[in-house]
Amino acid sequence: MHECCAVAGVYAPDEDVARLTFFALFALQHRGQESAGIATADGKKLQVHADMGLVSQVFDEDSLSQLSGNIAIGHTRYSTRGSSRKINSQPIVVGEGTNSIAIAHNGNIVNAENLHQGLSDHGYTFNTSTDTEVIANLILSSSEKDWVDRIRYAMRRLQGAYSMTILTNDRLFGVRDPFGVRPLCLGSINGGWVIASESCALDHIGADFIREIEPGEIVSIGADGVKEYREDSARKALCIFEYIYFARPDSTINGRLLYPARQAMGAGLAEEYPVDADLVMGVPDSATAASVGYSHRSDIPLAEGLMKNRYVGRTFIEPDQRIRDLGVKLKFNPLPQVLDGQRLVLVDDSIVRGTTTPHVIKMLRKAGAKEVHMRICAPPIRYPCFFGVDMATRGELIAAQKTIPEIRDFIGADSLGYLSIDGLIKAVALPRDIFCLACFTGDYPIPVQIEMDKLALESTVSDQQLPFNIRQR
């Protein structure tokens, strides 16, 4: 399961803003490894450099030094199904002269197809297949004069998830959708300002965390300082997977540091699904904190029996068949010296399709594990995500197709326990009603999706039959 993107933005007249944005993106690389880009503004014009690859592959001293100006935005991207092309890398620049903007977007617009059609009918042309370009053109299509009013005009028409940084010739904007599906925070640095998907990016560049950008809020930053424009949000729907898996454990969202939240998920699993075992292990790296929590609560020692190649990332080199056959071996290597004869509790963040877990368990058994008891930090995922998470159609979700005992048998575990929704909310220690839990419950926060839901919930429907905007990202 993958998140789609990270965004960043820096307004700092006395700083090398492109370099600061580069290091902010470097800290946010976990949110997208497919392409990276930075756009800058110097008061007169916008410049952009974006390409396929990791942040460190896309930029060098030369490309960074050419990005002059005192405002920058940046983006890292993970895309799905057919849109992995340089043309779709962000930031996207749309418009001309003083009527131009660069935009970096994290999320998914569920009514992008309708908006795209409406804009096309009015003569707007599109160079990419992203919903981000739809947002950009929607903003430009507003007849309002003020940028905040133009962004508001777009927000009234957009449905879905969007945490964005937007750049004009002389201003930086941070925008978050009224549901607040994806995180976005504001920080300060040496008299300037930083916007980032996660607080860990602020830490890495020496910025101070100020606050979260609220659902439905526009933050506008220019020579006159920071201005805030808030609108009431009827329903909040922060993606709970930010806490389970997506965000880095050293990030803070809604005042809750993720590392202890994940530890508490592990402790909750130990309470809900105790078992006699010799060792607790987490599937590295996302389940490491939860395995610590399980170990503490159960008094079963913690072990590292599975080594992960942490530098895998996404590669554009097609493996040959022999390498492809190695499957999870490319990613993990077990330690027989630790595993031999042991009864294991194996903690993981989630099971989506159930295609990897059987191989991991088989690998552990081959390395000598006597028993493998699987514990999962997320409740069973029974419904697809329409907010930009590359998950699966309902037909591919193992928990939509099989009972829990059937899944246990399918993955080859001795026992299987999923953290309950109540247990998850208790671990996160925040009110339940601020979260999206739709992939567990089927209760989507956007009513307009009903027609799409009907399509997508049909397990027989293929990806090709789904609407454009579901396939989009």
Whose Cβ is closer to ligand SF4: residue 97's or residue 447's?
447
Report yes or no: 14 and 193 within 8 Å, Cβ to Cβ. no
Q: Dihedral through CA 28, CA 195, CA 191, CA 102, nearest 10?
A: 100
Report yes or no: 345 and 283 within 8 Å, Cβ to Cβ. no
Report yes or no: 93 and 106 within 8 Å, Cβ to Cβ. no
List Cβ neighbours of 114 (8 Å cut-off, separation of 6 or more): none
Report yes or no: 247 and 253 within 8 Å, Cβ to Cβ. yes
> By CB under 6 A, what part of segment 178-217 binds ligand SF4?
181
Q: Is 240 in the site for ligand SF4 (CB under 6 A)?
A: yes
Catalytic residue among 5, 239, 385, 439: 5
Whose Cβ is closer to ligand SF4: residue 275's or residue 439's?
439
* Residue 414 C-beta: closest distance to ligand SF4, Å: 28
Q: Is 200 designated active site?
A: no
Strands 343-348 and 279-282: parallel
Q: What is the CA radius of gyration of the chain?
A: 22
Binding footprint of ligand SF4, residue count (CB under 6 A): 11
Contact segment (CB under 6 A) with ligand SF4 among 127-135, 272-280, 416-424, 434-442 equals 434-442
Report the residue count for the chain. 473
Report yes or no: 419 and 434 within 8 Å, Cβ to Cβ. no
Whose Cβ is closer to ligand SF4: residue 256's or residue 343's?
256
Whose Cβ is closer to ligand SF4: residue 7's or residue 101's?
7
Q: Is 239 in the site for ligand SF4 (CB under 6 A)?
A: yes
Give the span between the Cα atoms of 280 and 285, in whole angstroms: 14
SS3 for 140? helix
Contact segment (CB under 6 A) with ligand SF4 among 60-68, 73-81, 234-242, 285-293 equals 234-242
Task: Pick from 54, 175, 385, 399 the residue near ligand SF4 by CB under 6 A.
Answer: 385
* Residue 126 C-beta: closest distance to ligand SF4, Å: 26
Contact pattern from residue 437 through residue 456 relative to ligand SF4, giving x for each residue in contact according to CB under 6 A and a dash for the rest: xxx-----------------
Task: Pick from 173, 243, 245, 387 the residue near ligand SF4 by CB under 6 A.
Answer: 387
* Position 330, amino acid: L
Interface residues with ligand SF4 (CB under 6 A) are 181, 239-241, 385, 387, 389, 436-439
Looking at the annotation, which residues are catalytic? 5
